């Protein structure tokens, strides 16, 4: 399976420019990684998926050695393998020599650039939210959003148009937002969460299994 960048043409609405300068700390970190790894993507990672997607998965931010390297959300690291592998177990994805085939899927992140220590700051989350809002608004067939972690949960609610106090993050929870879009919460399938037992493969599969009843 290839990890080479495979990007959409034309770009999906809400795709950050490659030279986005909204967050100085992230710009500096991108420059640092470009110097260390000139062959990596090292830029805001664009969303990936079809405009007629019924399901969107929102993560925290690109992994340094994953999406920041490949230029594709959830590609190139353990979190992506866990995500797509679980979708395959549920019959929602198929592995091919070219990569994962997941009909109706749109993938993106709350923050488009890899942050130091995988921890975006509050101002960086706010700066990136308009991109996420535009991305999701351009999906006319969107029925459900899977939020991987509380940051993605908050970003998705604000991007779609809901109020946080009404929708509290909880693993496996399903929320109906004012637009009618359903939000499914899960702990992020990061290596850290799996290694510490915050999330188990069984827990993750149970949360995503709810998609089976929601798909068109």
pLDDT tens digit sequence for 161-176? 988 888 999 999 999 9
Instruction: Give residue 98's pLDDT band: very low, low, confident or very high (50, 70, 90).
Output: confident
> Which tens digit of pLDDT belongs to each residue from 117-145?
999 999 999 999 999 999 999 999 999 99
| Domain spans, the chain | 24-213
Instruction: Give residue 99's pLDDT band: very low, low, confident or very high (50, 70, 90).
Output: confident
3-state secondary structure labels for all residues of 99-163: EEECCCEEEEECCCCCCHHHCCCHHHHHHHHHHHHHHHHCCCCCCEEEEECHHHHHHHHHHHCCC
pLDDT at 209 over 90: yes
Instruction: Give residue 26's pLDDT band: very low, low, confident or very high (50, 70, 90).
Output: very high
Asked whether 215 and 209 are in contact (CB, 8 A), the reply is: no
> Span 15-30, mean pLDDT?
98
Q: Judging by beta carbons within 10 Å of its beta carbon (0-12, 13-18, 19+), is residue 215 exposed, middle or buried?
A: middle
Instruction: Give residue 10's pLDDT band: very low, low, confident or very high (50, 70, 90).
Output: low
Return the percent helix, strand and coil in the chain, to nearest 5: 40, 15, 50
Closest to 189 (Cα-Cα) out of 95, 87, 81, 71: 81
Report the predicted TM-score, pTM, of the whole model to 2 decimal places.
Answer: 0.93
> Span 35-53, mean pLDDT?
97
> Span 52-79, mean pLDDT?
97
180 DSSP 8-state letter:
S
> Span 148-164, mean pLDDT?
94
CATH architecture of the domain formed by 24-213: 3-Layer(aba) Sandwich (3.40)
Pairing between β-strand 105-109 and β-strand 94-96 as defined by DSSP bridges: unpaired
Mean pLDDT for all residues in the chain: 94
> What's the confidence (pLDDT) of residue 165?
85
Cα separation, 149 vs 162, in Å, equals: 17
């Amino acid at each position: 399976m290839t990890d080479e960048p495979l990007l959409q043409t034309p770009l999906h609405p809400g795709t950050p420019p490659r030279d986005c300068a909204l967050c100085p700390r992230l710009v500096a970190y991108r420059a640092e990684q470009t110097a260390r790894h000139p062959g990596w993507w090292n830029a805001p990672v664009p969303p990936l998926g079809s405009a007629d997607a019924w399901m969107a998965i929102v993560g925290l931010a690109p992994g340094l050695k994953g999406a920041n390297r490949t230029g594709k959300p959830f590609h190139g690291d353990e979190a992506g393998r866990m995500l797509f592998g679980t979708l395959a177990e549920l019959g929602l994805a198929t592995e091919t020599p070219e990569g994962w085939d997941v009909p109706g899927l749109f993938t993106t992140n709350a923050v488009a650039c890899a942050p130091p220590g995988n921890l975006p700051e509050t101002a960086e989350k706010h700066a990136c939210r308009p991109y996420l809002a535009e991305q999701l608004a351009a999906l006319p067939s969107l029925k459900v959003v899977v939020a991987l972690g509380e940051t993605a949960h908050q970003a998705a609610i604000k991007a779609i148009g809901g109020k946080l106090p009404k929708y509290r993050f909880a693993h496996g929870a399903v929320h109906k937002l004012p637009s009618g879009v359903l939000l499914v919460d899960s702990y992020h399938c990061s290596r850290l969460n799996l290694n510490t037992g915050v999330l188990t493969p069984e827990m993750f599969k149970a949360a995503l299994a709810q998609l089976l009843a929601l798909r068109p």
